[in-house]
């Protein structure tokens, strides 16, 4: 276990050391590039006054709800499209076109239409998560070997049995790969919504730190977002280790 995380630990220490030396000897003002110690001090202060836990919880709620919503709709629609190539040909131009429009461009419209509450952030987050999970669901379902379908049909399996005994296990590796991408992108979705219009959340802290020239607070918010993305990514990896044990046998 120690050997596994040792390279990460050493690279992190080297990064922090280089950062500290840069801020100390380069003469860059603290409000432009704060030192690691300044960021750590601001982090402790934000934790003690309760602002960081509160705003982190708001953003995490938006991320989780958006991720679950996006994954749910992407999985259902992806399965339907995987089973109907005709329907895929009809809808694929619209799905691809929707990805050509930056979410940042339509985020203000969503905020106007859905008001400035949590709903607009959840929808923006779900939209970003939707496409990668959708594509991987389609690819995963279509990658199921035909021989498995023939075997289940010879055993007179029902449609539900084929779904849960064949299609879900066989497509799970590809699906979880898309979920890994979606989990990290969900953080971006929540922040985009908060940057457009929000009075709480880590996006709000980013803007507040920017407006007040509180650069250490900006770094604290950014590193917190990175931590959330890593945690979500790690959860998906744990799901892979749990449900894909058979791949290592």
Residue 168 has pLDDT above 60, yes or no: yes
Mean pLDDT, residues 143-167: 85
The percent of residues above 70 in pLDDT, for the chain, comes to 96
* pLDDT value for 32: 85
Residue 44 has pLDDT above 90, yes or no: yes
In whole angstroms, what is the distance from residue 43 CA to residue 220 CA?
6
Residue 248 has pLDDT above 60, yes or no: no
* pLDDT value for 41: 93
* pLDDT value for 247: 63
Contact (CB, 8 A) for 166 and 149: yes
Mean pLDDT, residues 133-152: 88
In whole angstroms, what is the distance from residue 27 CA to residue 47 CA?
29
Beta strand residue intervals within 11-137, DSSP E: none
In whole angstroms, what is the distance from residue 209 CA to residue 159 CA?
55
Structural domains of the chain ordered from first start: 35-241 (1.10.3720.10)
Mean pLDDT, residues 62-81: 94
- What is the pTM (predicted TM-score) of this model? 0.88
In whole angstroms, what is the distance from residue 11 CA to residue 17 CA?
10
Residue 4 has pLDDT above 80, yes or no: no
Residue 245 has pLDDT above 80, yes or no: no
- Give the pLDDT confidence of 192-228 residue by residue, as tens digits: 888 887 788 999 999 988 888 889 999 999 999 999 9
Q: Which of 40, 60, 69 is nearest to 128 (CA)?
A: 69
Across the chain, what does the average pLDDT equal?
87
Contact (CB, 8 A) for 23 and 43: no
Mean pLDDT, residues 28-45: 89
């Amino acid at each position: 276990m120690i050997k596994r995380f040792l390279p990460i630990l050493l690279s992190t220490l080297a990064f922090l050391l280089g950062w500290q030396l840069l801020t100390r000897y380069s003469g860059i003002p603290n409000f432009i590039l704060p030192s690691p110690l300044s960021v750590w001090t601001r982090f402790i202060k934000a934790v003690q006054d309760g602002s960081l836990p509160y705003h982190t919880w708001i953003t995490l709620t938006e991320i989780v709800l958006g991720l679950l919503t996006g994954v749910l709709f992407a999985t259902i629609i992806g399965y339907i499209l995987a089973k109907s190539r005709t329907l895929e040909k009809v809808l694929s131009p619209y799905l691809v076109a929707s990805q050509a429009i930056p979410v940042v461009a339509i985020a203000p419209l969503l905020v106007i239409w859905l008001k400035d509450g949590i709903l607009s952030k959840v929808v923006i987050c779900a939209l970003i998560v939707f496409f990668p999970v959708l594509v991987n669901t389609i690819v995963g379902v279509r990658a199921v070997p035909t021989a498995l379908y023939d075997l289940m049909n010879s055993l007179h399996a029902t449609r539900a049995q084929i779904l849960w005994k064949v299609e879900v296990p066989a497509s799970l590796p590809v699906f979880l790969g898309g979920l890994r991408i979606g989990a990290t992108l969900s953080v971006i979705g929540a922040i985009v919504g908060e940057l457009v219009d929000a009075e709480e959340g880590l996006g709000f802290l980013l803007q507040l730190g920017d407006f007040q020239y509180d650069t250490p607070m900006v770094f604290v918010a950014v590193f917190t977002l990175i931590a959330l993305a890593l945690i979500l990514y790690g959860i998906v990896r744990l799901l892979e280790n749990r449900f894909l044990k058979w791949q290592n046998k």
